[in-house]
Homo-oligomer: A and B are copies of this chain.
């Protein structure tokens, strides 16, 4: 019996993870290469190609029937990476075309949040769902919206930027140039900013007062029941819950799945998010929409998600 294999490629700012996924959702081979330091983008594409070609058998290579790529600003319709701020190559990079000409296989490109959504659909907690949202809470905040069983790419391929919905009108400065975006509050940098702001007015004791805290430090402090850390998660969950309640009024999903750095804080982020989410939902949606944490192992999720894009 021949098995169709999928190749998943996750291009991050620093590393590119490459892996082969079989029909049982196992990553049967994976490899990492740096994303930076190449002479040009062609050299990078070739590095991906030879990383695969030189490390698997010809038989395995032939069984790969599709390639999915999660990349910053990856556009599903064009197959291009368009003006990604954190990659070495500026402007528009015809990524799908370049990979197709080397691999001679079908290539689908999208961003990492959409890849995460497809990963949950094919391999994760969204299996069998037709309407759900994945929110990636990492260095930035991304999202993938699935409706009627399909990813919403939108007219231009760039749908699903929940991180840039305004969570607080005229609020905190966001990296995108606007103010009050969800990303400015619920990303790793957002929660660090919240900590800095809260420390200023916080009268009680806290481990966080004596350090320049990272998102991980805040989580560690919460694990020790640090009252300020708990307040920070409460506030972050409030902002996230409110914004998710508004998103429900648009696509009315079965579930919202949280993924990435902040989601690793587990109940600390989940319980306050759920509380403010339910409080802010229109009555017809109350007690209907699950908020779940992704269960895909982080090391594999990016490759699984990219591989799932081909569906």
Contact = CB atoms under 8 A, between A and B. Distances in A.
Interface stretch (A37-45, A150-158, A199-207): A150-158
Given A165-B249, A177-B283, 16 more contacts: A145-B251, A148-B148, A152-B252, A155-B253, A155-B254, A156-B285, A157-B252, A160-B250, A160-B252, A164-B282, A166-B280, A168-B169, A169-B169, A178-B282, A250-B250, A251-B251
Interface size class of A (residues with CB under 8 A): 35 or more
Copies of this protein chain in the complex? 2
Contacts of A150: 147-148
Contacts of A251: 145, 152, 154, 159, 250-251
| 10 residue pairs, one from A and one from B, having the closest CB atoms | A154-B252, A159-B252, A155-B254, A161-B249, A131-B155, A147-B152, A164-B282, A165-B246, A165-B249, A148-B150
Nearest to A150: B148
26 contacts: A130-B155, A131-B152, A145-B251, A147-B147, A147-B150, A147-B154, A148-B152, A152-B152, A152-B250, A152-B252, A154-B251, A154-B252, A155-B254, A155-B288, A156-B284, A156-B288, A160-B250, A161-B249, A164-B282, A165-B246, A165-B250, A166-B280, A169-B169, A178-B280, A178-B282, A250-B250
